[in-house]
Amino acid sequence: MSFARKLVSTVIPLILVLGLCLVGCGPKAVDTSKLGLIEEGKLIIGSDCDYPPFIYMEGKNPAGFEVELMQAIADDLGLELVYLPPQNFDTLLTSVAGGGQMDLAVSSLTINDERKELVNFCRPYFNSNQAVVTRANSPYTKVEDLAGLKIGAQSGTTGEAWAIENLPTATVKSYNQTSEGLAALRAGEIEALFFDEPVATEQVATNFTDCQIIQVIPTGEQYGFAVSKDNPALEQAINDSLQRLINNGTYAQIFSKYFDFDPTIK
């Protein structure tokens, strides 16, 4: 037998042994049977799907930053991602708290103490502030100008809570979706709409170019995925997966497709 043939006959078994060792010694896959999922192997998501660029409907399918991030998490965990039909935003937390309809609520949900009484939140994945949006020809230039006027916000949001608390003389009208509030603003039914800055920036640049941001309110909010308090295993799995995606650059890659600034979550 030639030296070359001897070398091949020695190296190939060695490669096979090393390969088996790498497979056996590598990180173990998540045992999805222990994640308390509503349906084994599937991660069921509830959202209002009306908050571009985070989540919105593109034809019959959800799209956006949160959708791509959740797909990456589902792939990392070896789960099939399933979206329920668009839900009302102000029912998402009670639905996920019940544990029988959706595994996670994913809809740019700000983490705060009031909401944490009802659900748990996975680790933050985005930082945000509030924006005040008016018509482009509006005479108003700051929040104080809106005292005593009709203003609006999406029902159940932190924007609605901020407006009610800080503009007590104003009449705050609630809408099921932010897009409904923007349409009302455009029609002159309200004088301003309060909602998250990154969404406001997207909307006035694309779908509502006849509107403008007159002020950004530094509320220092953070978004998190909401999970039932009865499912700490899923919460931990999502947290671990999100951290892996941050560490390996996947999070930043997805982020850069939708935002022109550096991620603020590390």
CATH class assigned to 128-221: alpha beta
Is residue 102 within 8 Å of residue 84, measured between CB atoms? yes
- According to DSSP, residue 152 is labeled E
Which residue, among 114, 67, 124, 116, has the nearest Cα to 265 in the 3D structure? 124
**β-bridge pairing 80-83 and 42-46:** parallel
Residue ranges per structural domain of the chain? 32-125+224-258, 128-221
Could you identify the residue written with the tokens 């983490």? 111
% of the chain residues with pLDDT over 70: 89
Instruction: Determine how many CB atoms are found less than 10 A away from the CB of residue 121.
Output: 21
What is the tens place of the pLDDT at every residue in 52-105? Answer: 999 999 999 999 999 999 999 999 999 999 999 999 999 999 999 998 999 999
pLDDT confidence of residue 207: 96
Mean pLDDT score of the chain: 91
Average pLDDT over residues 117-128: 98
Q: Residues 6 or more apart from 100 whose CB is under 8 A from it? A: 38
Within this chain, domains 32-125+224-258 and 128-221 share the same CATH topology = yes
Question: Does residue 200 surpass a pLDDT of 90?
Answer: yes
**What residue type is 198 in one-letter code?**
P
Region of residue 265 (left: phi > 0; alpha: psi -120 to 50; beta: else)? beta
If you classify domain 32-125+224-258 with CATH, what class do you get? alpha beta
Q: Is the pLDDT of residue 221 over 90?
A: yes
Over 80: is that where the pLDDT of 149 sits?
A: yes
Residue-wise pLDDT for 15-61, tens only, equals 333 343 333 343 445 788 999 999 999 999 999 999 999 999 999 99
Model pLDDT, residue 29 = 55
**Predicted local confidence at residue 126, as pLDDT:** 98
Amino acid in position 129: N
